[in-house]
Structure 1
Amino acid sequence: MLDRLEKLDQELFLYLNEQQSPFWDTVMVTVSNKYFWIPFYLLLIGYIIWRYKMQSIPMLLMAVAGIGLADYVASGIFKPYFARLRPCHDPELSAMVNLVRGCGGKFGFLSSHASTGFALAVFFNLILSDRYLIFKIVLVIWAVVVSYSRIYLGVHYPGDIIGGALVGAGTAMLAVVGYRLWLRKYTRFQHKPLA
């Protein structure tokens, strides 16, 4: 069963990875670069502080905790434990991989990009009201595109991405519990957002 799943994962990877063009190469390298998103993160932090005032303190701290935990679980636990080679390091596949720019570390299961991206997206999807639906959708699309870029660039299997997304969602849920407990215990951090 596991062999069959791994074979399907490899076949899906090869199909998705061969959909290449010079234009999308540039886009995916940019999207995958964590430094490219710094202005996005700063705008998000600024908006949360402006909108939620004191409540932004536990909100942002728990978001960072969820993201940090997701990264640790993916890179610090799963990658060394499972030791699954990235497709670009796999001797059976590396000749077939369209590697756009660099292969990265030796192991790829789980994807840290997917785990941290989905930790952020799921955290804010769970704590913000439905009036922020567009904002929530944008965060999910962002997490999906960043995660997909890792397959496109030849450094992760789809299974690495799905597993990373599940871990990120799980750590986001833990962070939400922490956030709600904080608000319950310290009422001074509760704030009604601006209309």
Structure 2
Amino acid sequence: MTHAFPIGIDQTLLQFFNGSDSLFLDGMMAALTDGLTWIPLYLALLYMVIKNNETMEQIFLTIGCLFLCILLADGMADGIVKPLFARLRPSYDPLVMDHLDLLDTRGTGYSFFSAHAANTMSLAVFLSLLVRDKVFNFFIIAWALLNGYTRLYLGVHYPSDILVGFLWGAVSGLIAYFVWHKVYFKISPGLNYVSSQYTRTGYALSDADVVITVMAFTLICSMVFAIVG
């Protein structure tokens, strides 16, 4: 089974999002889709979690639920759905690839659904529920959406791959948060924070700002890479 959905709509939408005549955007999208690019962000998130949890049990629970997000999102995408549907990536499909603007980054394996989209959205949803700050939530969701867009730009996924990835990622994040919530309040007191320096879940706004700053710095570095490259 090569195509899981009617290819006409997906192909048309992909051609709209795919590529450009800009070498700068080509370089930037290639950088942003690389998981190594976001290591500083992951370290900043780890810093925020460690700094805003008082006990090792709380820290390990939160980190464990972050891994649960990836296990659910990536496990479903790469472990079950991709082998089941066996949908070729547009960058590998001979019926489609000649109509796309493809860069060197073409991805491996099957297309449906996007593990990139599912993984990033699962983390974004879980962290949004964890931190509960409007500014932080905006940026972390935007980060997930940007990762999905890079896959369309590079021509390694169809829009339906990204959309379903986002949907399953959101479900995975909700499941992980449900697990976190059930366990957290068994090992911790239920505290309400009313200080303007903290979110209502007890996360320091200054630490959330650190994450946002690292995210912005990563984007700037990607722009510089695109210009130099």
Identity among equivalent positions (%) equals 34
- Give the distance between the partners of 2:144 and 2:89, measured in 1 at CA: 20
CA contact (8 A) 1:183 1:190 kept: no
Change (3 A) 1:121 1:91: same
Moved over 6 A (4+): 188-192
How many positions carry a matched residue from both structures? 192
- Give the distance between the partners of 2:182 and 2:159, measured in 1 at CA: 35
Compute the RMSD of aligned alpha carbons: 2.2
1:105 match: secondary structure: coil
Greater fraction of residues in helix: 1
In structure 2, the partner of 1:37 is 38
Tell me which of 69, 88, 92 is aligned to 1:66: 69
Question: Are 1:112 and 2:115 counterparts?
Answer: yes
1:44 match: secondary structure: helix
In structure 2, the partner of 1:89 is 92
Change (3 A) 1:194 1:86: closer
Unmatched 5+ stretches in structure 2:
194-201, 205-229
Residue identity opposite 1:167 in structure 2: W
Normalised to the residue count of structure 2, the TM-score between the two structures is 0.77
Moved more, 150-159 or 179-188: 179-188
CA contact (8 A) 2:19 2:154 kept: no
Could you report, residue by residue, the CA deviation over 1:138-187 in whole angstroms, capped at 9, with x for unpaired residues?
10111111110011011011111001111111111110111011113323
CA contact (8 A) 2:19 2:102 kept: no
CA contact (8 A) 1:53 1:191 kept: no
CA contact (8 A) 1:51 1:194 kept: yes
Moved more, 38-47 or 94-103: 94-103
- Give the distance between the partners of 2:203 and 2:152, measured in 1 at CA: 40
Normalised to the residue count of structure 1, the TM-score between the two structures is 0.90
Change (3 A) 1:190 1:85: farther
Moved more, 100-109 or 74-83: 100-109
Change (3 A) 1:141 1:39: same
CA contact (8 A) 2:18 2:101 kept: yes
In structure 1, the partner of 2:25 is 24
Residue identity opposite 1:76 in structure 2: G
CA contact (8 A) 1:89 1:106 kept: no
Question: Are 1:78 and 2:81 counterparts?
Answer: yes
